[in-house]
Amino acid sequence: MTKKLCIVGLGYIGLPTAVMFANHGMRVHGVDINETAVKMIQNKQLHIEEAGLQERLNSAVDSGNFTASTTPEEAEVFIIAVPSPINEDKTANLDYVRAATEAIVPYVRKGNLIILESTVPPRTVEDVMIPVLTEANLDIGTELFISHSPERVIPGKVFEELTNNDRIVGGINEESSRLTVELYRTFVKGKIHVTDATTAEMVKVIENTYRDVNIAFANELAKISEKLNVNAWEAIKLANFHPRVNIHLPGPGVGGHCIAVDPWFLAELEPDLAKMITLARQTNDGMPEHTARRVKEILENQGINHGRVAVFGLAFKGNIDDMRESPSLDVIHHLRELGLDCSAYDPHIKENKLDIQTQSIEEAVDHADIIVILTDHNEFKVMDPELFANRLRTKIVFDTKNCIQAEKWKDHDFDVLRLGDSKN
């Protein structure tokens, strides 16, 4: 018999997951509090950008297997895939997880499976979800089954990774895990590793914290390299030829819904022990200001004290439209604080979200003194410098992602500088 799923949260994870299950024969009802997003989904329109999502959404809706609304429905399986951001004081904001759990309680029935996919601090299932779910008056573990199975995908490759990546399943007991594994086997080809719920929560936070610490190391190397007039990109590349070295790459900061957020969960839980984790977060959070100061230095070296900066890239990562925790926004903030005028362009973000955002790349560079590349979109990698030669007041490019072909730009008389490179 075909299972019915109710998936709460139709964002960058929930919507792709919903259409995957629907296109594999499940009946899926998606829920989101964003009425505009729900109406768009009902009309087979996308409110997020993800490769392959449009055709999969079309298929899911046309088959009749996928519906969407702002309220839950009864189902055999409930999946919660809502945001878990941080507050201004760097503590976890679990309001969305709590609210989503409360929303499904009236619809939960004996034998149901509840799965949390959101990335959360360890013990969220035990301390936040289970106390709410007891209001369903069902015995937890025998009449109501609960698991945590964190998403492990990267924007831009969500469907490939949903299918092929290994999956972690942490049930509150053996039967909860068994039911969850059986469900994800619908489309997951990777291995499914079973553990308990709290360990599963810890695993996901560890994965993103590892990456954050590694990036912080790369960013420290970049700043040291600038002082020593060393090319950090070449040094890291050569170091990574060592069979036991895998250094990540530097950049203007860390963004997104995972790496910039999740390490704070551990720092919040054990502040006296998470010293390296906290320092890494502070290092990466400091990169936007460092980047802005480098831009000001570059302009001052050209005798420009109040220049105009053309910022290329607002998304936190290349080839996506996701601005969550994007360091670009902080870089722009610091540039303005330093007295610099800014314009901004991003080919993937169609809706004007900033007052300085332009709809064309030409408009962004008009009368600018420097192009600052903050996101490595493919469109930026293949830009023709000749298009900008007569638009900029000063022909300078500061590439924080090492993504353009520097020699091509130099052939058009551009000065090309990079984050983590000589300041000369």
Statement: residue 352 has pLDDT above 90 = no
The structure tokens 């369903």 sit at: 136
Per-residue pLDDT tens digits for 357-415: 999 999 999 999 999 999 999 999 999 999 888 899 999 999 999 999 999 999 999 99
What percent of the chain shows pLDDT beyond 70? 99
From CA 197, how far away is CA 147, in angstroms rounded? 6
**How far is the CA of 123 from the CAs of 120, 199, 200, 288, in angstroms?**
8, 9, 10, 32
- Top-confidence residue, 417 or 352: 417
3-state DSSP assignment of residue 172: coil
DSSP state of 126: I
Please name the amino acid found at residue 383: M
From CA 55, how far away is CA 320, in angstroms rounded? 17
Q: Mind telling me the catalytic residues?
A: 204, 258
First to last CA, the chain: 68
Per-residue pLDDT tens digits for 186-243: 999 999 999 999 999 999 999 999 999 999 999 999 999 999 999 999 999 999 999 9
Per-residue pLDDT tens digits for 293-328: 999 999 999 999 889 999 999 999 999 998 989 999
Pairing type for strands 66-69 and 341-345 reads: unpaired
**Could you give the angle at which helices 35-42 and 53-62 cross, rounded to 10 degrees?**
70
Please name the amino acid found at residue 219: N
Fold of 230-424: Rossmann fold (3.40.50)
Domain boundaries, the chain: 4-199, 230-424
Does domain 4-199 fall under CATH 3.40.50.720? My reply is yes
pLDDT of residue 423: 62
Pairing type for strands 308-312 and 341-345 reads: parallel
With 0-12 CB in 10 A as exposed, 13-18 as middle and 19+ as buried, what is 132?
Answer: middle
Per-residue pLDDT tens digits for 103-123: 999 999 999 999 999 999 999
From CA 32, how far away is CA 17, in angstroms rounded? 14
From CA 277, how far away is CA 394, in angstroms rounded? 40
When the pLDDT of each residue in the chain is averaged and rounded to a whole number, the result is 96
Ramachandran angles phi, psi of 216, nearest 5°: -60, -40
Statement: residue 424 has pLDDT above 90 = no
Choose among 306, 300, 387: nearest CA to 345: 387
Per-residue pLDDT tens digits for 24-61: 999 999 999 999 999 999 999 999 989 999 999 999 99
From CA 294, how far away is CA 289, in angstroms rounded? 9
pLDDT of residue 350: 82
pLDDT of residue 396: 96
Dihedral (CA of 359, 365, 371, 372) sign: negative
Give the pTM: 0.93
327 neighbors 316 (Cβ within 8 angstroms): yes
From CA 264, how far away is CA 90, in angstroms rounded? 6
Evaluate whether 4-199 and 230-424 have a shared fold.
yes
How many other C-beta atoms can be found within 10 angstroms of the C-beta atom of residue 14? 24
The structure tokens 């925790």 sit at: 325
